[in-house]
Chains A and B, each alone.
Chain A
Amino acid sequence: MSIGVIDREIVRLGLLTLVSATVLAFAVAFATAIGDYTISLGTVSLAIGNGLGLTAAELPPIEESVVWDLRLSRALVAAFAGAGLALCGAILQALLRNPLAEPFVLGISAGASTGAVCVIILGIGAGSLTLSAGAFAGAFAAFGVVALLSNGATSGPNHTILAGVAASQLFNALTSYIVTTSGNAEQARNVMFWLLGSFGGARWPDVQLLAVVVPLGLVLCVTMARALDAFTFGDEDAAALGVSVGRIRLTLFAVTAVMTATIVSMVGAIGFVGLVVPHAARYLVGPMHMRLLPACAVIGAIFMVTADIVSRVIVAQQTVPIGVVTALVGVPFFAIILYRARPQT
């Protein structure tokens, strides 16, 4: 590769970054403008300017508050959650060498639900322990079970996937048991809503936490992108290429577990983003992780913000659970993957 080619690569990378940042910024702006009470993009940008202390425009206080306190934080949480889930999906698909792997394959969503249900219905630690903290604890309990069942994730991809399935079944059963034996109709509805995911409760502290966890996760994963590529032909091959398989795998599992658990504990188990986006990204930028991981983060963010807009406008005066929207888009895509992954004859 000549120097000219490398230069062109850098130019292309710069252009891609610029384009994706612009699209993402527009998506977030639209998400902030659109809703039951539509606000003009001009007002949105001024309100954001005010919030950042860049401008001091006179705006109706209600509009300013809706933009800054409600919709912008919500859009940013959606963006970070989408980015994080898509990233985790790409990592797990590579590590487990399975095109159907997704962030919840290690039982994390099931564990989070159990933790959340314990707080909502059983009232364990209510008051001192918030719903998010309960979900986070549950997610990590499930991850712990998976790690234990798969010998610290050292015994091969299929073993880990089976351990994840077992843990998911266990925690889903626990959730159902608690809901059916202890819950009333209202609580069951709350749990249902939480399980399908919602950005309704997203506020600035959530944005702050995600703004640390997700970018940090992305940077960590990108530094291990080369090692992930080496897993293309399996663990032994990666080892023969100089990768410390056990260490890399455990580190990446831990990073994805922390990211997923943080996201799930805030916004619920939003399915399909982690499954669908990596495949779309692979189609656009190829399978090598140095490009794939950042692409997943960007596409995931844009996809989730857009899905959130759809979830708010598709039925008037009502917000459809975000998981329903992502799944409605995700299922047809899933079908295409299945169709394309059929055995070659």
Chain B
Amino acid sequence: MSVVAHNLSWGVKRKTIVSDVSLTVGPGETLGLIGPNGSGKSSLLRLLAGLRRPASGRVEINEQDIAQVPRKALSRQVAFVQQSAETDTNVAVADVVRLGRTPHRSALSGWSEADETAVRGALARVDMTSRSAQAWQTLSGGERQRVHIARALAQVPQVMFLDEPTNHLDIHHQIEILRMVRDLDLTSVIALHDLNLAAMFCDRIVVLQEGSVCACGTPQAVLTRDILHDVFRVTAQIEGSADAGRPHIRYSAG
């Protein structure tokens, strides 16, 4: 399923946060969204997922304007994973993943075979089946993030948006989660801070600067010394790796 944004703009008060962004994500593609702090990554992601209404422009998912699609119908196709969403409620892992079935259930309908299959599959996908009865509060940060992704998978979406899913995780879990997302058979857009991880796992990368797209293309085309210098204000060496088209960035301490 494709995601297309046409001239998206959005802001608060008089400050423009996303300005005139157009982009295309092809079916099954993994798109990375990078940019310095405050460049509008999170906001753009929410506009794409339909969680915020753009001031102008529109988003089409599967050639349908999402502003015309009811909230519930949209969340049967689109899942959104926030960065480290928390709760004080004493819920079990399985309860959290079952929440993913919300858009598929009517107000009073029972729990169906399809619901159970989706939840089981999602738990297995993130390797948390054996933990399904465990309390949320007892999970580590990496496990919580995996459960959030399982919940998104239980929605059986065709498009997944992830806002810095690897925040606060150790490097093993960062790689594990991104590998899992890349290997999923769906279209995904991931906001990321770590440029090397973006280079490793994304098919294409969009670089945001002050709310606008300043570069878009394969990791190799986008992660250049000039862009790193101009946008991220760092000096770095770019090394091509054996893995074709996946550059590796080595920052210089200055």
**A window 302-344: CB within 8 A of B:** 341, 344
A57 at the interface (CB under 8 A from B): no
A233-B86 in contact given A240-B80, A241-B102 (Cβ < 8 Å): yes
Q: Is B102 within 8 A of A6, CB to CB?
A: no
A239/B71 in contact, CB under 8 A: yes
> Shortest distance in angstroms between B185's beta carbon and chain A's nearest beta carbon?
21
Decide: A232 and B76 in contact? CB cutoff 8 A: no
For residue A92, CB closer than 8 A to chain B, the reply is no
Q: Given A6-B110, A233-B85, is A288 in contact with B103 using a C-beta cutoff of 8 Å?
A: no
Chain B positions within 8 Å of A232 at CB level: 87, 89, 91, 96, 99
Q: Give complex CA distance A287, B51 in Å.
A: 26
Are B90 and A242 neighbours in the complex by a CB distance under 8 Å? no
List chain B residues, Cβ under 8 A from A242: 71-76, 102-103
The interface residues of chain A lying within 8 Å CB-to-CB of B100 are: 241
Interface residues on A, range: 20 to 34
A243→B85 contact, CB < 8 A: no
A223 CB to nearest chain B CB (Å): 5
**Chain B, 48-73, contact with A by CB distance < 8 Å: what is the 0/1 string?**
01010000000000000000000111
From A97, A229, A240, A341, give the contact of B49 (CB < 8 A). Answer: A240
| B105 contacts across to A, CB distance below 8 A | 226
Judge whether B107 and A226 touch: CB under 8 Å: yes
Contact between A236 and B74, CB atoms less than 8 A apart: no
Known: A232-B89, A288-B95. A243 touches B110 (CB 8 A): no
Question: In the complex the two chains form, what is the Cα distance from A170 to B82 in whole Å?
Answer: 38
Q: Looking at the complex, which one of B86, B89, B96, B102 makes contact with A243 (CB distance below 8 Å)?
A: B102
Interface string of A224-241 (1 = CB under 8 A from B): 111101101110110111
Give bound CA distance, A94 to B80, whole Å: 21
Contact status A344-B137, CB under 8 Å: yes
Query: Among the interface residues A97, A225, A240, which one has the most CB atoms of the partner chain B within 10 A?
Result: A240
* Chain A proximity of B146: nearest CB distance (Å): 15
Consensus secondary structure, chain B interface = loop
Q: Is A187 an interface residue (CB 8 A)?
A: no
A239 touches B51 (CB 8 A): yes
**Residues of A contacting B46 with CB < 8 Å?**
236
Cβ contact within 8 Å between B82 and A233 = yes
| A243 neighbours in B (Cβ, 8 Å) | 71-72, 102
A185 at the interface (CB under 8 A from B): no
> Are A229 and B99 in contact, CB atoms less than 8 angstroms apart?
yes
A99 near B71 (CB under 8 angstroms)?
A: no
Q: Are A234 and B111 in contact (CB under 8 A)?
A: no
Convert B136-148 into 0s and 1s, putting 1 for each residue whose CB lies closer than 8 angstroms to a CB of A.
Answer: 0100000000000
* Complexed CA–CA distance, A229 and B103 (Å): 12
Interface size classification for chain B = 20 to 34
**A208: CB under 8 A from chain B?**
no
A207 to B198: give the CA distance in the assembly, Å.
64
Q: Nearest residue in B to A1 (C-beta to C-beta)?
A: B116
Closest to B88 in A: A99
**Residue from A227, A242, A286 with most neighbouring chain B CB atoms (10 Å):** A242
Which chain B residues lie closer than 8 Å to A97 at the CB level? 87-88
A93 nearest in chain B by CB position = B89
B99 touches A241 (CB 8 A): yes
Between B85, B89, B103, B108, the greatest number of chain A beta carbons within 10 A of the residue's beta carbon is seen for: B89
Q: Is A190 an interface residue (CB 8 A)?
A: no
The answer for the CA separation of A288 and B155 in the assembled complex, in Å, is 18
The CA of A90 and the CA of B105, in the complex, are separated in Å by 22
Per the bound structure, the CA–CA distance linking A321 and B53 in Å amounts to 52
- Residues of A136-184 at the interface with B, using a CB-CB cut-off of 8 Å, are none
Residue picked from B79, B95, B137, most chain A C-beta under 10 Å: B95
A133 vs B137: C-alpha distance when bound (angstroms): 46
Asked whether B88 lies within 8 Å of A341 as measured between CB atoms, the reply is yes
Please give, as numbers and ranges, the residues of chain B lying within 8 Å of A288 by CB-CB distance: 95
CB distance from B74 to the nearest CB of A (A): 7
B38 to chain A, nearest CB (A): 19
**Shortest distance from the beta carbon of A293 to any chain B beta carbon, whole Å:** 12
Listed A/B pairs (30) with beta-carbon separation below 8 Å: A1-B111, A1-B113, A1-B116, A6-B110, A6-B111, A223-B107, A225-B107, A226-B107, A230-B102, A232-B87, A232-B96, A233-B85, A233-B99, A234-B82, A234-B87, A236-B80, A237-B80, A237-B85, A239-B71, A240-B79, A240-B80, A241-B100, A242-B71, A242-B72, A242-B73, A242-B103, A243-B102, A287-B90, A287-B95, A341-B88
Q: Which 3 A-B pairs have the closest CB atoms?
A: A242-B75, A242-B103, A242-B72
